Structure 1
Amino acid sequence: MGDRRMHLTDWNALTWLDDASLPLLDAALLIARDEYPDLDPTPYQALVQAHADHLREEVAAIEPCALKMAAINRHLFVELGYSGNHDEYYDPRNSYLNQVLERRLGNPISLAMVQMEVARRLGIPLDGVSFPGHFLVRLPVDGGLLVMDPFNGGRPLAVEELRERARPHLGEIPDDNVLLKILSPAPNRAILVRVLRNLHGLYAEAGQWDRAARSIDRVLKLTPEQPDAVRDRGLAYLELGYLPGARQDLGQYLQLAPEAGDAEQVREKLIEASATRTVLH
């Protein structure tokens, strides 16, 4: 337990962990502690463990893996009442795991993390899927895949529905090979980055540039020198009037991605950051 708490207090430590060692639940609670600085992760870790312990005997008595998963979904989404927040989909609390566990409301990726953490504690290899649009989960069964939608009660999705969901994002209906590629397991790091990207988008849209900068800075802790993240942090710094940081990041973006489609717009922002005087308050 001491080692896991170390990860919770040190963002820099996460940079050097490989995906197999990156603790999904603990890192998600670390994201939440940015917004809730007094957050104690222990009760939330214990709550997820309690969900798994409640199911352990029942799941052990079931043989087919798909039926084990059905029992988990029934407990989480029916008995405990976890559900997708359809009414306030863009509420940032849907992305903070402490709030999801308290309110039992979330978005697709946060509910998937709860589902995955409980299933994995029961020996079920449930993975996340960075599907276009809504995040999904997948379970290998009988030589195939059981794909489920955690935002809608863990409902299984047929192949044709998956194709239709992907079509607006791809511009065409994916064939089997493309669909299988889309359904590849998402590593823990990619899941955490998607959570932070969602938060960045929400806060940027709301003009909360301090939170937007914080969220994208955390992306860079997990994926250093990721060009789009460097750019987005620079733009947030520019909005905040932190011009040295804006110049550094926007200049670095142009070095990392000189042929990017938005390179000219970023150069204009860099000129703006260079021409504007820093105002001291």
Structure 2
Amino acid sequence: MRIYPTMELQNGRCVTLDKGRLENAMIWHVDPVETARSWSAAGAEWMHLTDFDAIEGRDTNVELVEEIIRSAELPVQLAGGMRSRERIEHWIDKGAGRIVIGTLAALDPHLVKELAKLYPDQIVLAVDVWQGYVMTEGWRTQSAFTPEAFIEAFHDTPFAAIVVTDIDSEMEDVEAQLGLISGVAEKSRTPVIASGVVRTTDDISRLAYISNISGAIVSRALFRKTLTLEDVLEVAKTAHEPVAQFQ
């Protein structure tokens, strides 16, 4: 299972959100570029990067995102404000390894299907779920789609992955609940990356045994230093090692 250490940017700084509120972000006083390089040095194969300003239609972080893509020494899965063909193709041209699309998939599914076929292995579908329904517009707007119906609408689309976020678990400081993501993963034809449910290495171990989970996004715990990336990578690497049978 692949681990995606995750960075979230607002006004050029690394942040994490308090209960999903963009206006109440916790700022981490670290260098974003050096942090990305440290993840590569620790052995991460990918990183996930979300631009919160782009979600709100602002280009505050454009130069910083470009620098991270150029110098991180690992491929970047980029999310935030991907609501037009031009913007998606811009970031592919700038070297983003993958582009994560959520709101646009709800508004213009035909375009997203076309982009996924045009850019194989580079388009990722975001499925952000709150109280049983897919959310759009940066978690602000509830759609009429259940996650299962939303994914089924793209059943023949060659996405690189589907990122499923359990917003209820992400927003509340409670032990991660894996029921939602495991249920969605079971019905998806595309490998699922779990988001919003990793707080301990035990969560990684549990995810590793859920069918069709290909990876996990890890963010807040790394910045809080309740987890180290080295430990998370080691647990993910060894989760499926065979256990000797003693007679």
Instruction: Kindly indicate whether structure 1 or structure 2 has the higher relative contact order, using CA contacts under 8 Å at least 6 residues apart.
Output: 2
Larger Rg: 1
| TM-score, length-scaled by structure 2 | 0.28
| TM-score, length-scaled by structure 1 | 0.26
Structure in which a larger fraction of residues adopt helix: 1
